[in-house]
Structure 1
Amino acid sequence: MTIHDRRLGRRAVLQNGTLFLATAAVMPAVALGAKPADPLKIGVITDLHYADKPAAGTRYYRETLSKLEAAALQFEQDEPRFVVELGDLIDAADSVQTEQRYLSTIDREFSQICKDRHYVLGNHCVETLKKDEFLGGVGQEKSYYSFDRGGYHFIVLDSCFRSDGEPYGRHNSVWTDANVPPAELEWLAADLKACSDPVIVFAHQRLDVSNSHGVRNGAEVRRVLEASGNVLAVFQGHSHRNDVTEIAGIHYCTLVAMVEGSGADNNGYSVISLDSSGAIAVDGFCKQADYRWKS
C-alpha cells in the first residue's frame, strides 16, 4: 500500500489543522475590499536517512516511511506549490545495489506527494552512490541549479565536494570536508547578478557555522549571497536540529531531521509560506520549530 492509498482514508483527520491561521498572519495588507494574494507555500523535509536496517542510536531508519506519510498528509491539506528535500534522503549502504533499493523505496513514496519536487544532495546520498546515480534515480538533471516560482527566485546548492574539488561518491570523502567549488561559486554569483526577485536558497551542509557541520568555504559563499542584496533566507539541514541565525540580514534556518527518534511524535517537517511583501513564515510540525520573519 502506498502513501497515496493510505492517506485517502485519513484525509478528514487533518481538515481542522491550524496552518491556515498561521499563514493568514503573514499575508500583506491590501486595500479594503481587495482580495489578498495567497502566499506561496513550500513543503520541506530533510534528513530522512531511509534505510531498511535496524535503528542505531537515535536514528530510526525504517520509521521514516511512516513519518513521510504524516508529512504527505499535511502537504495534501496545505497544497504547497512545490516540495524540497534538503539532503540525506537515504542512509549509506554497503553496496550500490542495496543503496539503489533504499533510494527507489523512499522516492516511490516521496514522488507521490507533488510533481514539482527538488532534491538537495546530502553527504549520505552520495556516500555509496555517485552523483549521477542518485540524480538519475530521482529524475533530477543537476545537483545545483535555480528556478522561479510565484515572484521568487530559488537556488539549490551542492556542497558535496572535497577540498580538492572532487565530487563525493563511492566512499571517497569525509563528511566534515564539505565545499562549494569555484565553478559553482562563479555560477552562483552570475545567477544572482541576473536576478532581481527575492531569493531563497536551499542547502544541505550549513552555511552559517564553521564547525564540523559547516561548509568549509561557507564564509566565501555567504559573501556571494550578501553581495546580491536579494537573498532573504537559506534553508538547510545536516546537523539534525532546530537552529536559526541571522548574518548580514540573511536568515539561516536549520531544520530538524526526520530520522531522529522513534514514534509519530518524533518527526519533523514544515510548510514555508512566502508572501508578496517578502515576509516568511515557517510552520513546523512535531519537532520542527516555527519562525516568522518580516521583510
Structure 2
Amino acid sequence: MTDSHSPNRPTTERLGRRALLRNGTLVLGAAALPVAALPAADGDARVRIGLVTDLHYADKPPAGTRHYRETLAKLAEATAAFKREGIDCLVELGDLIDAAETVETEQRYLRTINRTFSAICDDRHYVLGNHCVDTLKKEEFLGSVGQSDSYYSFDRNGVHFVVLDSCFRADGQPYGRKNFQWTDANVPQDELDWLQEDLAGTDNPTIIFAHQRLDVSNNHGVKNNADVRKILESSGKVLAVFQGHSHQNDLNEIEGIHYCTLVAMVEGSGEENNGYSTMEIQRDGTIHVKGFRKQAQREFA
C-alpha cells in the first residue's frame, strides 16, 4: 500500500462520461482525508447514508494486515463522525465478524461488535458477507442483529435501496457452517426473479448494496454477476452499486452504473488505517461519497 494523508481538501477532475474523481482515488490505496480535514456535510443532500464494510471483528491476534480487535476502536471513531454528519440510516456491507472455531465464540463476537454498531442508528441494514456465515447460519446471524431477511428493499426520501445476498453456492444452497468455498458466490434464480420484480415496481432512483463484487470476474466477484448486471441495466433506474469484499478502494462504470468498492475497516493497525464513509445523494442526482481516513472520496452523477 502506498496510501498517504493530506490535510488539504482534494482537488477534483473529470473521469469518463459521468464520474468525478477526487485526489487520484482510482489508484489502489490512494489518499483519503483524516476526519478533522473533511468539509462539513452538505445540507442539500436528499438522503445521507453511513457506510462501513469488512470489519471482521474477532477477539483474536492480528493475522497479516488484518487487526481484528482494533475494529472496535475504529468503529467508535466512525460512530462519532456519523453522529456529527447526521445520517438518515446506516449500512454495513458484509463481514461484520470474522470466522470463529465455535458457534458460541462467533455469537460472542457478533454481540460485541453489534453492541457498538446498533447504537449508532436505529435505521440500520446488514448485508451478509461470507465471514458472517462461515460459522453461523444465516438465520442465526440475522436473528442476532434483528433483521428478518437477507435480501430486501426499502425507500428513504424518494430513493429506492436494495440489499442483495450473494452468499449462495452455485447449486443454490445458502452459505452456513463452513459448507462453501468463498470464491463460489452466486445470486440464485429466486433472488434474481425477485430483483427484477422489485425494480419494476419502483419509479425511484435506486442504489444497490452488495458484499461480493458485481463488477469483476476474479475471485472477489459474484460468479453470475453478468446476470445481475443485466437486470440492473434493463431497469434504467439504478444509479450505483456499493460493495466490499476485496478490501480495496475501487470504482468502475459499466453501462452507466457506477460500481463503488469501499475499503475494509479491518486492514492495518491504528486510527490512521481506519476507513468508512457517508454517501450523500444530492437533490440534483449527484452522489457524493465522503471518505474518512483510508476511504477514497468519490463524486459521480
Does TM-score exceed 0.5, indicating one fold?
yes
Distance 2:101 2:189 in 1: 32
RMSD across aligned C-alpha pairs, in angstroms?
1.3
Distance 2:79 2:87 in 1: 11
Aligned to 1:211: 218
Distance 2:35 2:238 in 1: 34
Distance 1:66 1:215 in 2: 31
Q: State, as a whole percentage, how many aligned pairs show the same letter.
A: 64
Distance 2:212 2:205 in 1: 22
State which of 183, 189, 200 in structure 2 corresponds to 1:182. Answer: 189
Distance 2:202 2:89 in 1: 20
**Contact 2:35-2:81 within 8 A present in 1 as well:** no
Runs of 4+ in 1 over 4 A off after TM superposition: 14-17
Aligned to 2:295: 288
**Contact 2:280-2:289 within 8 A present in 1 as well:** yes
Deviates more, 1:270-279 or 1:192-201: 270-279
Distance 1:85 1:271 in 2: 12
1:103 lines up with 2:118 in the alignment? no
Report the TM-score, using the length of structure 1 for normalisation. Answer: 0.89
Distance 1:293 1:241 in 2: 19
Distance 1:17 1:271 in 2: 15
State which of 130, 136, 149 in structure 2 corresponds to 1:142. Answer: 149
List alignment gaps of at least 5 residues for structure 2: 1-33
**Contact 1:15-1:77 within 8 A present in 2 as well:** no
Distance 1:166 1:67 in 2: 34
**Contact 1:45-1:86 within 8 A present in 2 as well:** yes
The 3 A distance-change label for structure 1 pair 16 and 257 is closer
SS at match of 2:63: coil
Aligned to 1:48: 55
Aligned to 1:118: 125
SS at match of 1:265: helix
Alignment of 1:225-264 (within 5 A): 225-264=232-271
State which of 74, 80, 92 in structure 1 corresponds to 2:99. Answer: 92
Q: CA deviation digits over 1:38-82, x for unaligned, max 9?
A: 431100000000000000000000000000001000001001000
Aligned to 2:199: 192
Distance 1:205 1:118 in 2: 16
Aligned to 1:274: 281
Distance 1:114 1:108 in 2: 11
SS at match of 2:213: coil
Q: CA deviation digits over 1:212-270, x for unaligned, max 9?
A: 00000000000000000000000000000000000000000000000000000001000
The 3 A distance-change label for structure 1 pair 186 and 128 is same
State which of 220, 228, 232 in structure 2 corresponds to 1:221. Answer: 228
Aligned to 1:20: 40
1:39 lines up with 2:46 in the alignment? yes
Q: CA deviation digits over 1:113-150, x for unaligned, max 9?
A: 00000000000000000000000010000000000001
The number of aligned residues is 268
Distance 1:39 1:151 in 2: 8
Matching residue's letter, 1:20: A
SS at match of 2:251: strand
The 3 A distance-change label for structure 1 pair 16 and 290 is closer
Aligned to 2:10: none
SS at match of 1:50: coil
State which of 104, 107, 131 in structure 1 corresponds to 2:138. Answer: 131
Matching residue's letter, 1:246: E
State the shift of 1:18 in Å.
Answer: 3.2
Deviates more, 1:201-210 or 1:269-278: 269-278
SS at match of 1:147: strand
SS at match of 2:75: helix
State the shift of 1:15 in Å.
Answer: 10
Aligned to 2:12: none
State the shift of 1:17 in Å.
Answer: 5.9
Report the TM-score, using the length of structure 2 for normalisation. Answer: 0.87
List alignment gaps of at least 5 residues for structure 1: 1-13, 28-37
Aligned to 1:31: none
Distance 2:35 2:59 in 1: 32
Q: Which has the higher contact order (CA 8 A, sep 6+)?
A: 2
